[in-house]
Structure 1
C-alpha cells in the first residue's frame, strides 16, 4: 500500500518500511538462534539413559551425520518463514483483515497458520531432501532411523501462530495509538475553532465601544479626536490580529490596553481615574491576546460607565512563581445576572472560556465585590520566554 492510499484509507498497516522489516528480521533471527542452541546442545541425559550403550552410540553417531542438514535447515526454515509471513502480511493488508471483528480475524489467522505451516513443510522438506542427496551426498537413512526436518511441521505451526499473535497485537496497539493521536488532533482543532469564534465575537464588541468614544470626541475636541483615531487604529489592529495568535508578549498587550484607556479617558474625562502597577518580574510573561484589554474594558464599561459621578480603574501585574497574577479593580457593583450573555457579560464569559481552553485546569478567573469595589483576578501559568520590556 503506497503512502497516498495509507493516508486516505481507514485501514493503516501495522508497520511500514524499516519498522516492519525490523520486526520480521528480529523474530526470525530469534527463531534461528533458538534452533542453533538446540543443534549445539547435546541430547538430554534423562532421555539417552533410557537406551543401552550400543543404541546411544548409534544415535550420537547419527546426530553427528545429520548436523550439516540441521544447520542447512536452520537457514532454510527462517528464510521460508520470513517469505511466507511477508506474503501473508501483504494479503492481509490488501484485504484489510485488521478491520474485521475479532472473532473473524482469529478464524482467518488460524487458517493462515495452517496454510503457511503446510506450505513451509513442503518447501523445507523439498529443499533439505534435495540437498541431502545432491549437495551433502548423504541419504541419512539407516536401520529405521530417519531424519526428516519436515516432521517439524507441528512446531512450525506454533512458530507461525506466535508470529501471528505478535503481528496482530502490535498492529492493534499501533492503530489504537494512531486513533488516540487523531482524536487529540481533532480536539485541538475544535479548541482552535472555538477560540477563533470567541475572538470573532469579541472584536465587534471592542469596535462598538471604541467607535462610540471617537464619535463623542469629534464634536467636543477635534484635536483629541485625531489622537483617538490613532489609538483606535492600534486597538483595531490588535483586535483583528488576535485570531492569528494564541499568546502575545505582555508588553504588546499593555500597549493595546494603554491605547484603549486613552480612548476611555478622553470619553469620560475627569470622571475616570486610571492607575496601574507592574512587577518587573512580569516582563517575561505572555498572555492570550486582548485578555487584559477585555478585563480593563469591562471595568470601565460596567463600573464607571454605568454609574454617575467619579470612578476609578486600577490594574496590577505580578509574578508569583511561574504564574502571572492579574488583578483589575474598579468602582461599582456586580449586577444580578451579570454573567449571563443577555446581561452583556460576554467579555468575561469569553475570557473564562479562553483560559479554560488554553490552560485546562491550570488557569483561573474569579470575580468578587466588597464595599463598592469589584475585583477581577486572573491567574495565568507561564512558560519560559525571552524578556519583554514593559510599556
Structure 2
C-alpha cells in the first residue's frame, strides 16, 4: 500500500469551492470584527476616525492575509517545520517571515490608498521604518501561528490516514481469516462424508450409493450457489436438509431429523455453512450410536436471529473440548459480529446437548448496502 502525499490546506480548500468561500468569509468576518473593535476603542478620542476608516484598516489586512496564508501553507508543505532535519529549515522560514511581512505591509498600504481614494479622501502613510517595525511584530506572530496551524493540520490528516490504513489492514486480515475458516469446513466435511460412505458400503451398498448421489448433489449445489461469506438462509436451509438426509442414510429409520426454519426468513443472511458443523458434531458425538433425534430451529426475535441445534444423544462430556467445527464457528462469529453475538452449549435436562446461537438479523438490503 503506497503512502499518499500530504496535500496543503490551500489545495484541499480549492478542490471544494464551498469550503474556499467559507475560508474567505472567515477572514472577512475577522476583519469586520477587528474593525468594530477599532470603532469602539476610538469612541473616547477627541477626534476619532470615521467608522469606515477602522474597517478599511482591518479589512485591508485580513484580505491580504487570506491570500498570504495559502502561500504560507504551500511553502510550509515544501519546507516543513516538523520531521527529520527541521532545524536546517528554520533559517529558510526566517527569510520567508521577512518576505511575508514586507508583502503584507506593501499590499495592505496599497489597498488602503485605493479605498481612501474611492471615499474621496487621502491615506497618509507614516514613517516607513516605524510602520515596518510596528507591523512586523504582528506579522511575526501571525506567521508563527500559520506554521503551527499547518503542522497541526498535517498531523491530524496523517493520523487519520494511518487509522484508515490500519482499519483496511484489519479488514483484509479478517476477510482472509474468514476465507480460510470457511475453506476449512468444506474439506473437513467431504473427508468425513467419504469416510461414512466407505464404512456404509460394507453394510448396505444401496444406501452407500444413495449417499454418493446425495454428496454429488451437495457439491453441485455448492458450486452453483452464490459466493461470499454470507448467503440467504433459504439456500443454507436447502444445504442443511440435504446434508441431514445424507447423514441419516447411514442408519435408515433410526436417525430422525427435524429442521424448522421460519419461512419468512428465507431472504435473511447467515454466514455460509454456519450450522452445518454444529449438525455434524451432533451426528458424530451426541448421536454416534446411529440412533436418536436431532432438532434444528431458526427464528427471529427482537431483531435478532436465533438458532438452536439440539440432540437427545449421550450428552456433553464434562471434559469435552471444542473441536475443529465448533472452534471454527466461534472464530467466524467473533470476526463477523465482534461483541454482538452469543454461542452457548449446554446439557439438556432430558438428555443430550443443545447449542444456541444469537446474532444480528440481516436482510438482503442491509447486506447490499454494506451494513453489518
Same fold (TM over 0.5): yes
User: 2-side partners of 1:16 and 1:80: how far apart?
Assistant: 11
User: Which residue is 1:290 aligned to?
Assistant: 273
User: Which residue is 1:44 aligned to?
Assistant: 41
Contact 2:274 2:329 in 1 (8 A): yes
Q: Which among 314, 319, 324 is matched to residue 332 of structure 1?
A: 314
| Map 1:2-21 → 2, pairs under 5 A | 8-9=2-3, 12-13=6-7, 15=9, 17-19=11-13
| Map 1:1-391 → 2, pairs under 5 A | 8-9=2-3, 12-13=6-7, 15=9, 17-19=11-13, 30-35=26-31, 38=34, 41-42=38-39, 44-45=41-42, 48-49=45-46, 56=47, 60=49, 75-92=63-80, 98-100=82-84, 114-125=94-105, 140=124, 148=131, 151-218=134-201, 224-237=207-220, 244-305=227-288, 307=289, 310-330=291-311, 331-340=313-322, 345-370=323-348, 371-385=350-364
Shift of 1:134: 12
Contact 1:28 1:81 in 2 (8 A): no
Contact 1:110 1:161 in 2 (8 A): no
For structure 1, list consecutive stretches of 5 or more residues without a partner in the other structure: 1-6, 50-55
Shift of 1:282: 3.2
| Range with bigger deviation, 165-174 or 321-330 | 165-174
Shift of 1:223: 5.0
User: 2-side partners of 1:193 and 1:47: how far apart?
Assistant: 75
Q: Could you say what secondary structure the match of 1:268 adopts?
A: coil
Contact 2:310 2:352 in 1 (8 A): yes
Q: Could you say what secondary structure the match of 1:378 adopts?
A: strand
Contact 1:113 1:160 in 2 (8 A): no
Q: Could you say what secondary structure the match of 1:362 adopts?
A: coil
User: 1-side partners of 2:55 and 2:347: how far apart?
Assistant: 92
Contact 2:308 2:356 in 1 (8 A): yes
Contact 1:213 1:263 in 2 (8 A): no
Shift of 1:256: 1.1
In structure 2, do the counterparts of structure 1 residues 203 and 327 end up closer, same or farther at CA, with 3 Å as the change threshold?
same
In structure 2, do the counterparts of structure 1 residues 220 and 325 end up closer, same or farther at CA, with 3 Å as the change threshold?
same
User: 2-side partners of 1:274 and 1:133: how far apart?
Assistant: 95
